[in-house]
Amino acid sequence: MGFKEYVGKRTLHGIVTIMLAVTLNFILFRIMPGDPTRAVSGDPRVDTATRLALIAKFGLDRPLIEQFVLYVYNLLRGEMGISFVQIGRPVIDIILGRKMINTIILMGSSMFIALFLGIVFGVIAAWRRGTKTDISLIVVSLATYSMPVFWFGMMLLLVFSYYINIFPIAGTITPGIVHANFFEYAKDYLNHLMAPMITLGVSFFGGYFLFMRDTILDVFTEDYMLTARAKGLSNRKILFKHAMRNALLPMVSLMGVHVTFLISGATMTETVFSWDGLGRLIYDSVRNNDYPVLQGIFLFMAVLVVVANILADIVNAYLDPRIKEAVE
Protein backbone atom coordinates (compact mmCIF):
# COMPACT_ATOMS: atom_id res chain seq x y z
CA MET A 1 0.00 0.00 0.00
CA GLY A 2 1.34 3.38 -0.97
CA PHE A 3 1.65 6.28 1.36
CA LYS A 4 -0.99 8.15 -0.61
CA GLU A 5 -3.47 5.36 -0.20
CA TYR A 6 -2.73 5.28 3.48
CA VAL A 7 -3.50 8.96 3.83
CA GLY A 8 -6.61 8.49 1.69
CA LYS A 9 -7.86 5.73 3.89
CA ARG A 10 -7.22 7.69 7.01
CA THR A 11 -9.11 10.61 5.48
CA LEU A 12 -12.08 8.39 4.76
CA HIS A 13 -12.15 7.24 8.38
CA GLY A 14 -11.95 10.87 9.35
CA ILE A 15 -14.98 11.78 7.27
CA VAL A 16 -17.03 9.04 8.85
CA THR A 17 -16.03 10.27 12.29
CA ILE A 18 -16.94 13.83 11.40
CA MET A 19 -20.34 12.67 10.15
CA LEU A 20 -20.99 11.06 13.47
CA ALA A 21 -19.85 14.13 15.35
CA VAL A 22 -22.08 16.40 13.29
CA THR A 23 -25.12 14.24 13.86
CA LEU A 24 -24.51 13.89 17.55
CA ASN A 25 -24.09 17.56 18.13
CA PHE A 26 -27.18 18.38 16.12
CA ILE A 27 -29.25 16.02 18.21
CA LEU A 28 -27.66 16.82 21.54
CA PHE A 29 -28.09 20.54 21.30
CA ARG A 30 -31.72 20.18 20.45
CA ILE A 31 -32.51 17.63 23.08
CA MET A 32 -30.91 19.73 25.75
CA PRO A 33 -33.31 22.21 27.29
CA GLY A 34 -33.03 25.84 26.29
CA ASP A 35 -34.74 27.98 23.75
CA PRO A 36 -32.55 30.11 21.52
CA THR A 37 -35.21 32.76 21.10
CA ARG A 38 -34.76 33.70 24.75
CA ALA A 39 -31.24 34.68 23.96
CA VAL A 40 -32.05 36.13 20.58
CA SER A 41 -34.71 38.41 21.90
CA GLY A 42 -32.21 39.36 24.55
CA ASP A 43 -34.60 40.23 27.31
CA PRO A 44 -37.49 38.26 28.68
CA ARG A 45 -39.43 41.48 28.33
CA VAL A 46 -39.64 41.17 24.56
CA ASP A 47 -43.23 40.51 23.75
CA THR A 48 -44.71 37.20 22.81
CA ALA A 49 -45.46 38.14 19.21
CA THR A 50 -41.80 38.92 18.65
CA ARG A 51 -40.68 35.64 20.11
CA LEU A 52 -43.13 33.62 18.05
CA ALA A 53 -41.97 35.43 14.93
CA LEU A 54 -38.36 34.60 15.69
CA ILE A 55 -39.13 30.95 16.40
CA ALA A 56 -40.81 30.72 13.03
CA LYS A 57 -37.95 32.59 11.40
CA PHE A 58 -35.37 30.08 12.61
CA GLY A 59 -37.57 27.14 11.74
CA LEU A 60 -37.53 26.00 15.33
CA ASP A 61 -41.23 25.22 15.22
CA ARG A 62 -40.64 22.49 12.66
CA PRO A 63 -40.20 18.85 13.62
CA LEU A 64 -36.70 17.86 14.58
CA ILE A 65 -36.34 15.47 11.67
CA GLU A 66 -37.17 18.21 9.20
CA GLN A 67 -34.65 20.54 10.80
CA PHE A 68 -32.01 17.84 10.59
CA VAL A 69 -32.66 17.06 6.95
CA LEU A 70 -32.48 20.75 6.15
CA TYR A 71 -29.28 21.08 8.14
CA VAL A 72 -27.57 18.21 6.37
CA TYR A 73 -28.79 19.44 3.00
CA ASN A 74 -27.38 22.89 3.67
CA LEU A 75 -24.16 21.47 4.98
CA LEU A 76 -23.68 19.45 1.81
CA ARG A 77 -24.14 22.66 -0.14
CA GLY A 78 -21.43 24.21 2.00
CA GLU A 79 -23.74 26.38 4.03
CA MET A 80 -23.54 26.31 7.77
CA GLY A 81 -26.42 28.66 8.30
CA ILE A 82 -26.83 32.02 9.91
CA SER A 83 -26.10 32.75 13.54
CA PHE A 84 -29.21 33.06 15.68
CA VAL A 85 -27.57 35.61 17.86
CA GLN A 86 -25.49 37.68 15.51
CA ILE A 87 -28.34 37.83 13.11
CA GLY A 88 -27.37 38.02 9.52
CA ARG A 89 -23.83 36.82 9.92
CA PRO A 90 -23.06 33.52 8.24
CA VAL A 91 -21.58 31.03 10.67
CA ILE A 92 -18.70 30.38 8.37
CA ASP A 93 -17.68 34.05 8.52
CA ILE A 94 -17.83 34.07 12.27
CA ILE A 95 -15.69 30.99 12.65
CA LEU A 96 -13.17 31.32 9.87
CA GLY A 97 -12.04 34.79 10.68
CA ARG A 98 -10.07 36.70 13.20
CA LYS A 99 -11.36 34.52 16.00
CA MET A 100 -9.81 31.44 14.50
CA ILE A 101 -6.48 33.17 13.97
CA ASN A 102 -6.47 34.46 17.53
CA THR A 103 -7.15 31.01 18.88
CA ILE A 104 -4.56 29.38 16.69
CA ILE A 105 -1.94 31.89 17.78
CA LEU A 106 -2.81 31.51 21.45
CA MET A 107 -3.06 27.74 21.36
CA GLY A 108 -0.06 27.32 19.12
CA SER A 109 2.27 29.52 21.12
CA SER A 110 1.26 28.20 24.51
CA MET A 111 1.36 24.63 23.28
CA PHE A 112 4.77 25.18 21.77
CA ILE A 113 6.12 26.58 25.01
CA ALA A 114 4.49 23.91 27.13
CA LEU A 115 5.68 21.18 24.81
CA PHE A 116 9.20 22.50 24.63
CA LEU A 117 9.52 22.97 28.38
CA GLY A 118 7.64 19.74 29.11
CA ILE A 119 9.94 17.72 26.90
CA VAL A 120 13.18 19.29 28.06
CA PHE A 121 12.32 19.16 31.73
CA GLY A 122 10.72 15.72 31.34
CA VAL A 123 13.98 14.39 29.93
CA ILE A 124 16.02 16.08 32.63
CA ALA A 125 13.78 14.80 35.41
CA ALA A 126 13.88 11.27 34.06
CA TRP A 127 17.66 11.43 33.78
CA ARG A 128 17.93 12.67 37.35
CA ARG A 129 15.28 10.38 38.62
CA GLY A 130 14.81 10.50 42.38
CA THR A 131 16.97 13.56 42.88
CA LYS A 132 15.83 16.87 44.28
CA THR A 133 15.58 18.28 40.77
CA ASP A 134 13.26 15.50 39.76
CA ILE A 135 11.09 15.75 42.84
CA SER A 136 10.76 19.51 42.70
CA LEU A 137 9.90 19.34 39.00
CA ILE A 138 7.25 16.72 39.73
CA VAL A 139 5.77 18.83 42.51
CA VAL A 140 5.65 21.88 40.27
CA SER A 141 4.15 20.02 37.36
CA LEU A 142 1.53 18.27 39.50
CA ALA A 143 0.60 21.64 40.90
CA THR A 144 0.21 23.21 37.47
CA TYR A 145 -1.52 20.12 36.15
CA SER A 146 -4.18 20.12 38.83
CA MET A 147 -4.56 23.87 39.01
CA PRO A 148 -7.85 25.09 37.51
CA VAL A 149 -7.00 27.14 34.43
CA PHE A 150 -9.66 29.66 35.30
CA TRP A 151 -8.30 30.25 38.77
CA PHE A 152 -4.72 30.52 37.62
CA GLY A 153 -5.75 32.97 34.93
CA MET A 154 -7.53 35.12 37.49
CA MET A 155 -4.46 35.10 39.70
CA LEU A 156 -2.24 36.18 36.82
CA LEU A 157 -4.73 38.88 35.96
CA LEU A 158 -4.78 40.12 39.53
CA VAL A 159 -1.02 40.13 39.95
CA PHE A 160 0.26 41.18 36.56
CA SER A 161 -2.58 43.29 35.23
CA TYR A 162 -3.87 44.88 38.40
CA TYR A 163 -1.12 45.15 41.00
CA ILE A 164 2.00 45.24 38.83
CA ASN A 165 0.16 46.43 35.78
CA ILE A 166 2.52 45.12 33.11
CA PHE A 167 -0.02 43.17 31.08
CA PRO A 168 -3.27 44.58 29.74
CA ILE A 169 -6.39 43.26 31.34
CA ALA A 170 -8.33 42.10 28.33
CA GLY A 171 -8.51 41.78 24.59
CA THR A 172 -6.01 41.02 21.88
CA ILE A 173 -5.14 44.59 21.03
CA THR A 174 -5.38 48.02 22.62
CA PRO A 175 -8.83 49.22 21.66
CA GLY A 176 -9.58 52.29 19.69
CA ILE A 177 -6.11 53.13 18.44
CA VAL A 178 -4.60 52.93 14.99
CA HIS A 179 -1.17 51.35 14.92
CA ALA A 180 1.56 53.14 13.05
CA ASN A 181 2.88 50.03 11.37
CA PHE A 182 2.77 46.30 11.51
CA PHE A 183 5.63 46.18 13.97
CA GLU A 184 3.74 48.33 16.45
CA TYR A 185 0.68 46.19 15.96
CA ALA A 186 2.62 43.00 16.55
CA LYS A 187 4.18 44.44 19.70
CA ASP A 188 0.79 45.42 21.04
CA TYR A 189 -0.64 42.04 20.16
CA LEU A 190 2.22 40.19 21.81
CA ASN A 191 1.83 42.27 24.92
CA HIS A 192 -1.78 41.17 25.10
CA LEU A 193 -0.85 37.59 24.28
CA MET A 194 1.59 37.13 27.15
CA ALA A 195 -0.77 36.56 30.09
CA PRO A 196 -3.14 34.12 28.39
CA MET A 197 -0.21 32.35 26.82
CA ILE A 198 1.49 31.89 30.16
CA THR A 199 -1.74 30.68 31.70
CA LEU A 200 -2.41 28.15 29.03
CA GLY A 201 1.24 27.17 28.70
CA VAL A 202 1.58 26.54 32.41
CA SER A 203 -1.61 24.54 32.50
CA PHE A 204 -0.44 22.34 29.61
CA PHE A 205 3.12 22.04 30.90
CA GLY A 206 2.38 19.66 33.76
CA GLY A 207 0.72 17.05 31.58
CA TYR A 208 3.40 17.09 28.93
CA PHE A 209 6.15 17.00 31.52
CA LEU A 210 4.73 14.01 33.37
CA PHE A 211 4.02 12.15 30.18
CA MET A 212 7.48 12.82 28.82
CA ARG A 213 9.16 11.82 32.05
CA ASP A 214 7.25 8.55 32.18
CA THR A 215 7.92 7.74 28.56
CA ILE A 216 11.62 8.50 28.91
CA LEU A 217 11.81 6.29 31.98
CA ASP A 218 10.22 3.54 29.94
CA VAL A 219 12.68 4.14 27.15
CA PHE A 220 15.56 4.00 29.61
CA THR A 221 14.78 0.37 30.32
CA GLU A 222 15.22 -0.51 26.66
CA ASP A 223 18.34 -2.40 25.62
CA TYR A 224 19.38 0.19 23.08
CA MET A 225 19.77 2.72 25.86
CA LEU A 226 22.26 0.39 27.52
CA THR A 227 24.07 0.18 24.21
CA ALA A 228 24.15 3.94 23.96
CA ARG A 229 25.63 4.21 27.43
CA ALA A 230 28.08 1.43 26.73
CA LYS A 231 29.25 3.38 23.73
CA GLY A 232 30.35 6.11 26.09
CA LEU A 233 28.30 8.76 24.34
CA SER A 234 27.79 12.11 25.97
CA ASN A 235 24.74 12.48 28.19
CA ARG A 236 23.28 14.99 25.82
CA LYS A 237 23.45 12.56 22.93
CA ILE A 238 22.11 9.69 25.00
CA LEU A 239 19.16 11.78 26.14
CA PHE A 240 18.25 13.86 23.18
CA LYS A 241 19.28 11.60 20.32
CA HIS A 242 18.56 8.14 21.60
CA ALA A 243 15.99 8.52 24.36
CA MET A 244 13.96 11.49 23.20
CA ARG A 245 13.47 10.44 19.66
CA ASN A 246 11.88 7.21 20.84
CA ALA A 247 9.92 8.93 23.57
CA LEU A 248 8.50 11.40 21.06
CA LEU A 249 6.55 8.68 19.29
CA PRO A 250 3.89 8.26 21.98
CA MET A 251 4.06 12.00 22.60
CA VAL A 252 3.02 12.72 19.03
CA SER A 253 0.07 10.36 19.31
CA LEU A 254 -0.88 12.07 22.55
CA MET A 255 -0.82 15.44 20.83
CA GLY A 256 -3.33 14.22 18.29
CA VAL A 257 -5.76 13.29 21.04
CA HIS A 258 -4.90 16.30 23.10
CA VAL A 259 -6.38 18.82 20.68
CA THR A 260 -9.74 18.54 22.42
CA PHE A 261 -8.18 19.43 25.75
CA LEU A 262 -6.53 22.39 24.13
CA ILE A 263 -9.90 23.66 23.06
CA SER A 264 -11.43 23.31 26.49
CA GLY A 265 -8.39 25.00 28.02
CA ALA A 266 -8.66 27.74 25.46
CA THR A 267 -12.33 28.28 26.33
CA MET A 268 -11.45 29.00 29.95
CA THR A 269 -8.43 31.14 29.21
CA GLU A 270 -10.11 33.13 26.50
CA THR A 271 -12.98 33.89 28.82
CA VAL A 272 -10.75 35.09 31.65
CA PHE A 273 -8.60 37.26 29.42
CA SER A 274 -11.37 38.26 27.01
CA TRP A 275 -9.28 36.83 24.21
CA ASP A 276 -11.53 36.99 21.20
CA GLY A 277 -11.19 33.46 19.92
CA LEU A 278 -13.16 30.35 19.18
CA GLY A 279 -13.04 29.28 22.82
CA ARG A 280 -14.96 32.32 23.88
CA LEU A 281 -17.26 31.93 20.94
CA ILE A 282 -18.11 28.47 22.25
CA TYR A 283 -18.74 29.91 25.70
CA ASP A 284 -20.99 32.66 24.38
CA SER A 285 -22.80 30.39 21.96
CA VAL A 286 -23.51 27.77 24.59
CA ARG A 287 -24.90 30.43 26.87
CA ASN A 288 -27.11 31.74 24.10
CA ASN A 289 -28.06 28.42 22.53
CA ASP A 290 -26.72 29.64 19.23
CA TYR A 291 -27.12 26.27 17.51
CA PRO A 292 -25.82 27.19 14.07
CA VAL A 293 -22.61 28.63 15.46
CA LEU A 294 -22.16 25.73 17.85
CA GLN A 295 -22.70 23.25 15.07
CA GLY A 296 -20.19 25.15 13.01
CA ILE A 297 -17.61 25.17 15.78
CA PHE A 298 -18.13 21.53 16.53
CA LEU A 299 -17.78 20.64 12.91
CA PHE A 300 -14.62 22.70 12.86
CA MET A 301 -13.40 20.98 15.99
CA ALA A 302 -14.23 17.54 14.69
CA VAL A 303 -12.27 18.31 11.56
CA LEU A 304 -9.45 19.67 13.68
CA VAL A 305 -9.29 16.57 15.86
CA VAL A 306 -9.44 14.25 12.90
CA VAL A 307 -6.81 16.20 11.00
CA ALA A 308 -4.64 16.36 14.10
CA ASN A 309 -4.83 12.61 14.46
CA ILE A 310 -4.04 12.02 10.82
CA LEU A 311 -1.13 14.42 11.15
CA ALA A 312 0.04 12.67 14.29
CA ASP A 313 0.01 9.38 12.43
CA ILE A 314 1.93 10.84 9.53
CA VAL A 315 4.50 12.46 11.81
CA ASN A 316 4.82 9.21 13.69
CA ALA A 317 5.37 7.41 10.46
CA TYR A 318 8.06 9.90 9.65
CA LEU A 319 9.71 9.57 13.05
CA ASP A 320 9.39 5.83 13.29
CA PRO A 321 10.87 3.93 10.35
CA ARG A 322 9.00 0.79 11.41
CA ILE A 323 5.61 2.38 10.84
CA LYS A 324 6.78 4.07 7.70
CA GLU A 325 7.76 0.76 6.22
CA ALA A 326 4.55 -0.88 7.32
CA VAL A 327 2.67 1.93 5.63
CA GLU A 328 4.60 1.72 2.43
Partner 1 sequence: MPVIEVRDLVTHYLTAQGSVDAVSGLNFTVEKGQTFGLAGESGCGKTTAALSIMGLLPSNGRIMGGQIIIDGEDLLQKTEAELKKIRWSKVSIVFQGAMNALNPVLNVGEQILEVILEKEDVTKSEALDRVRELFRLVEIEPSRIIDYPHEFSGGMRQRVMIAMALANYPKLVIADEPITALDVIVQNQILELMKDLQRKLDLSQILITHDLSVIAETCDKVGIMYAGKLVEYGEAGPIFKTPLHPYTSALIGAYPSIVGEKKKLNFIPGSPPNLIDPPRGCRFHPRCPYTKEICSQEEPEYREEEPGHYAACHYVEELRDTLRLGD
Partner 2 sequence: MLKLKKILSAFIMAIISLSIMSPLLLSTPVAMATDEDELSFEMWTLDWDTISVDAGDVIEQMLRDIGIRMKAIPISDEVLYDNLDLEHDYEVYEMSGGYDPYPSHMTPRFHSSEIMDYGANDMAYNNPEVDALLDQANAELDFETRVELLWQVQDLIAEDLPYIPLFTSDDVHAIRKEWTGYVCMPGGIFNWYNRLTTINLQHEDQEYGADFIMAYPSYIRYYNPIMGTDGRSALIVSMVYDDLVAYDADMNLTPWLASAWTVSEDGLTITFTIVENAKWHDDVDLTAEDVKFTIDFYKDQDVPYDTPLMSRIDSVETDGDYTVIVHMTEPYAWAVNDFEDVPIMPKHIWEGKDWDWAVHPDTMPIGSGPFMWDSYLDGEWIKLVVNPDFWMEGKPHLGSFLVRVISESSARYLAISSGEVHSDRYELDTGFIDTADNDPNLAPLEDTWCVGMWDYYINFNQRTNPALQDPVVKKAIAHAIDKNRLVEIARLSYGTVTDTYITPAFFGPAYENPDAITYEYNVFLANQMLDAAGYLDIDADGIREMPVAVEEPDEETPVFEAETIEELEAEIASLLSSLSDTASSVSSLESDIEALNSRLNSSLNIAYGVAIVALLVAIIAVYYATRS
Q: How many residues sit in the footprint of partner 2 (CB under 8 A)?
A: 67
Q: In whole angstroms, give the CA distance from residue 326 to residue 172.
A: 46
Residue 176 has phi, psi (to 5 degrees) of 80, 5
311/252 Cα distance (integer angstroms)? 9
d(CA 41, CA 50): 8
Binding mask 281-320 for partner 1 (x = CB under 8 A): --------------------------------------xx
Question: Does residue 322 touch partner 1 according to CB under 8 A?
Answer: yes
Which helix or strand (DSSP H or E) is residue 309 part of? helix 291-319
**Least Å from the CB of residue 109 to partner 2:** 19
78 sits near partner 1 (criterion: CB under 8 A)? no
Burial class of residue 306, CB neighbours in 10 A (0-12, 13-18, 19+)? buried
Q: Rule CB under 8 A: say whether 222 interacts with partner 1.
A: yes
CB 281 within 8 A of CB 293: yes
| Per CB under 8 A, 131 contacts partner 1 | no
Binding positions for partner 2, 287-306, rule CB under 8 A: 289
Cross-strand partners of 82: 90
Q: Is 276 in the site for partner 2 (CB under 8 A)?
A: yes
Residue 31: how many CA atoms within 13 Å on its side-chain side?
7
Q: Is 70 in the site for partner 2 (CB under 8 A)?
A: no
Q: Which region, judged by CB under 8 A, interacts with partner 2, from 86-94, 107-115, 206-214, 235-243?
A: 86-94
Contact status: 24 vs partner 2 (CB under 8 A): yes
Interface ranges with partner 1 (CB under 8 A): 129, 222-224, 226-234, 237, 241-242, 245-246, 249, 319-322, 325
